[in-house]
Structure 1
């Protein structure tokens, strides 16, 4: 017997029909279910007019509407402030409850609390579910009941708990939610009313020319392709010129595929054939849960260092710092792998994970710039931007986070380049002006013989910048800058 007469499912970062917790629960517990997606002005108004993420979401929402219509339903689409629109739409439709999947970012929590309060005042329920993580909040803690701050023991506890629950039927965190038997309960939707990008106030980007697959079908296509490569992931993932990653991060961010499905996919491969590649990829998915847990347990990390002593560091400031930061953003540091990484980010909205570490460490420990500047720039540019993971990654690079690299371990951008792009293939792709340099000199053009630079048509400072800093000298400045941390420890 359905508990509610009519309900409304509010889609957010979960743009799919398959294995969607809130949609399933609403259909199982309601006689009739409406579906809505809000292009939230409170978020969109802060973005530039060209933003690949908005175009990606637009394509995903369009496909979601198509999928819902296959069941006889459809997607109501609004362009408004979600905090105002959801209670208003719930009242207009006369629903008894609004169903949604939980979001763990501070602003989203505040928004959902405001919506729930308004709904309650109107006599309606707000019901939310775990959907974008396997274990949330304090579901994985130490034996003393405290949140972990180091990844490996967290991972071990996470895997132990998963093993205990994985085969427990409907109580399993890997349980999938299929709506086929309830599909007839979806409320029919009139003619599609999807606003165009221009009606949303945005312009088309180069998303289409980048051939980035969108929607539920795009996620499935990428996963199918990754299946043939997953066993080698542990080796190929560190080399940006190789097709190593799954490229599913943006789809995970916007929920066109469920985390349960991906974890089960990796977990089963590990159990069936002990694949080292699948095991490492599963670890990457666990890192994702870990950073969500950290954000929940220590919400102050959104603004400050996880380790308070690191907030005492004196970063570069003033016009000189702004100039250094601008050069980093524009990929004009004089270090080819760093510049190629920034070119990849600025051109495509994607950056290879190894390069994220290298670029971040260079900004922080070679240029002496506050990690929050880089965190903010990535948040503006990354298609797959996720607050928890982005913050965790930047604090790892700054040595200020949980389980971070030691402050005295400072990546050498040249040796990293030689190790992970030995033939300069990635550099040549994004910095074609360096294409004629040898595999040896392409990693540090300022060390190339003048004759080779002339033959390659390169004049340092004109065709390609001289290095902003020399790494060894920058390293010494960083060790001095971090001395305040050493003194406090």
Structure 2
């Protein structure tokens, strides 16, 4: 039986267009309420100045304004959703709560708790696929198995999409907007950051676009550049990426719209080599989400359990090495500039995520979980599945990961991807007077080093040997080569 009234719970889907749960609720119900809960079980652990909270706050204001234009309103709560959602459902007298799937283990537990509480009160809990094109077990091997290697997964993903492109169809909201519950009079104001216990971060100073409109502007800016993406994406000083990862994280964009648009670009032959490469990056995102769903043990453990036996460096010396990595004082300019970018902006270029992760794991011998946790705290676009998948790729412990003997050389990576030192100079201005050749390894400069920049905390060649020994304790030896 369809509910006469319902409640749509916004989570990782902060938009009002092409929204599956909202569309379904509007189709099913005579009256539809919308709510967002500032989740204290997450927020209480964050620093009081957190760019992600700023981003959410601005994006929620845009959602509220858009709903108001459609004749509805947004209810905002601050607390534990496990109690706030059932309580609000009872207060409003709705028959069902609608939301879109969240795939992380803690979110699944939260949703199961909410569903049980609602069911006990005679209400329904309905959840839908929205943040991915294919989820869970929708893309399987020909034998019905779960993929653990990306390329065959990608091929199967693309084949499934070609067979049923209707999965990209938009979910329209406007035709049913008259069913949105009108705002109360007077309408309550949205909570301020201060009322939520937070202070403004530097999000505005960084000019990071927020909300649905910000995502749209970024995508419009990226489309004319997408043909160059394959080559430009690897160079941190170039405007190569789409910069949409933060919007993917909080659902201010529709993945269906993005994939549909890029496929249209490719069909016209206008996307060059870049468009299919960018589409593959979106598939990587779904691959890691699928891996997390089927292998929840990767939260805290290696995808390949044998790698949990690796003996990482511990103790005070390891702690100091880790602190040097976090603070960008390793003596390797590309690594330090990348960490400065992360610490100052909450963003890190994807090539540099690989370089810095490999340096922590295979130059310093530090457990990848420590780096994963640091990124989780500081990345604006932190996503558990993608962050975990990336770190396990770097540590060679994940699915379809780089071989353990593939060890990025931070100097050659710098020379190859920031040859002129433009990116390094932006974040390490103390090195600005070094030549393009000198800036990649300042300790080799014959004249005196700048007094405010350290020498290398480890020597790469020596560290590499130790890493090979460390891994060969749990893995058969194989060929080795610096990248």
Aligned with 2:353 (options 352, 356, 359):
356
Aligned with 1:416 (options 413, 422, 425):
413
- In the TM superposition, what are the counterparts of 1:309-320 in structure 2 within 5 Å? 309-320=306-317
Structure 1 residue 206 and structure 2 residue 192: aligned? no
User: Does the 8 Å contact 1:77/1:193 carry over to 2?
Assistant: no
> SS of 2:54's equivalent?
helix
Task: Give the whole-Å Cα distance in 1 for the aligned partners of 2:94 and 2:475.
Answer: 58
Aligned with 1:483 (options 468, 472, 477):
472
Task: Give the whole-Å Cα distance in 2 for the aligned partners of 1:230 and 1:381.
Answer: 28
What's the Cα RMSD here?
Answer: 1.1
Aligned position for 1:169: none
Structure 1 residue 272 and structure 2 residue 268: aligned? yes
Describe the superposition over 1:65-124 as per-residue Cα deviations: whole angstroms up to 9, x where unpaired: 000011100100011111100000000000000000000000000000000000000000
Per the TM alignment, residue 192 of structure 1 is displaced from its structure 2 partner at its CA by 4.1
Describe the superposition over 1:345-383 as per-residue Cα deviations: whole angstroms up to 9, x where unpaired: 000000000000000000000000000000000000000
**Structure 1: unaligned runs, 5 residues or longer:** 167-171
Task: Give the whole-Å Cα distance in 2 for the aligned partners of 1:67 and 1:192.
Answer: 16
Per the TM alignment, residue 303 of structure 1 is displaced from its structure 2 partner at its CA by 1.3
Per the TM alignment, residue 488 of structure 1 is displaced from its structure 2 partner at its CA by 9.6
Aligned position for 2:425: 428
Aligned position for 1:37: 36
Task: Give the whole-Å Cα distance in 1 for the aligned partners of 2:290 and 2:188.
Answer: 38
Describe the superposition over 1:282-324 as per-residue Cα deviations: whole angstroms up to 9, x where unpaired: 0000000000000011110111100111111000001111100
> SS of 1:229's equivalent?
helix
Task: Give the whole-Å Cα distance in 1 for the aligned partners of 2:355 and 2:439.
Answer: 17
User: Does the 8 Å contact 1:333/1:468 carry over to 2?
Assistant: yes
Describe the superposition over 1:22-49 as per-residue Cα deviations: whole angstroms up to 9, x where unpaired: 0000001100000000001111111111
Aligned with 1:237 (options 233, 237, 255):
233
Aligned position for 1:249: 245
Task: Give the whole-Å Cα distance in 2 for the aligned partners of 1:318 and 1:416.
Answer: 29
Aligned position for 2:81: 82
> SS of 2:398's equivalent?
coil
Describe the superposition over 1:180-239 as per-residue Cα deviations: whole angstroms up to 9, x where unpaired: 110000001232421111110111110000000000000011011001111100110000
**Structure 2: unaligned runs, 5 residues or longer:** 479-483
Describe the superposition over 1:242-296 as per-residue Cα deviations: whole angstroms up to 9, x where unpaired: 0000000000100000111111122222222162111100000000000000001
User: Does the 8 Å contact 1:330/1:342 carry over to 2?
Assistant: yes
Aligned with 1:188 (options 182, 187, 194):
182
- In the TM superposition, what are the counterparts of 1:387-402 in structure 2 within 5 Å? 387-402=384-399
- In the TM superposition, what are the counterparts of 1:31-110 in structure 2 within 5 Å? 31-110=30-109
Task: Give the whole-Å Cα distance in 1 for the aligned partners of 2:39 and 2:292.
Answer: 23
Aligned with 1:177 (options 171, 179, 187):
171
Task: Give the whole-Å Cα distance in 2 for the aligned partners of 1:478 and 1:173.
Answer: 45
Structure 1 residue 13 and structure 2 residue 12: aligned? yes
- In the TM superposition, what are the counterparts of 1:280-429 in structure 2 within 5 Å? 280-429=277-426
Structure 1 residue 225 and structure 2 residue 225: aligned? no
Could you tell which deviates more after superposition, 257-266 or 342-351?
257-266
- In the TM superposition, what are the counterparts of 1:157-172 in structure 2 within 5 Å? 157-166=156-165, 172=166
User: Does the 8 Å contact 1:76/1:193 carry over to 2?
Assistant: no
TM-score, normalised with respect to structure 2: 0.97
Aligned position for 2:145: 146
> SS of 1:468's equivalent?
coil
Task: Give the whole-Å Cα distance in 2 for the aligned partners of 1:394 and 1:218.
Answer: 28
> SS of 2:407's equivalent?
coil
Per the TM alignment, residue 178 of structure 1 is displaced from its structure 2 partner at its CA by 0.8
User: Does the 8 Å contact 1:361/1:398 carry over to 2?
Assistant: yes
Per the TM alignment, residue 387 of structure 1 is displaced from its structure 2 partner at its CA by 0.1
Task: Give the whole-Å Cα distance in 2 for the aligned partners of 1:298 and 1:488.
Answer: 27
Task: Give the whole-Å Cα distance in 2 for the aligned partners of 1:47 and 1:3.
Answer: 39
Task: Give the whole-Å Cα distance in 2 for the aligned partners of 1:302 and 1:78.
Answer: 29
> SS of 1:485's equivalent?
coil
Task: Give the whole-Å Cα distance in 2 for the aligned partners of 1:353 and 1:267.
Answer: 23
TM-score, normalised with respect to structure 1: 0.96
Per the TM alignment, residue 144 of structure 1 is displaced from its structure 2 partner at its CA by 1.3
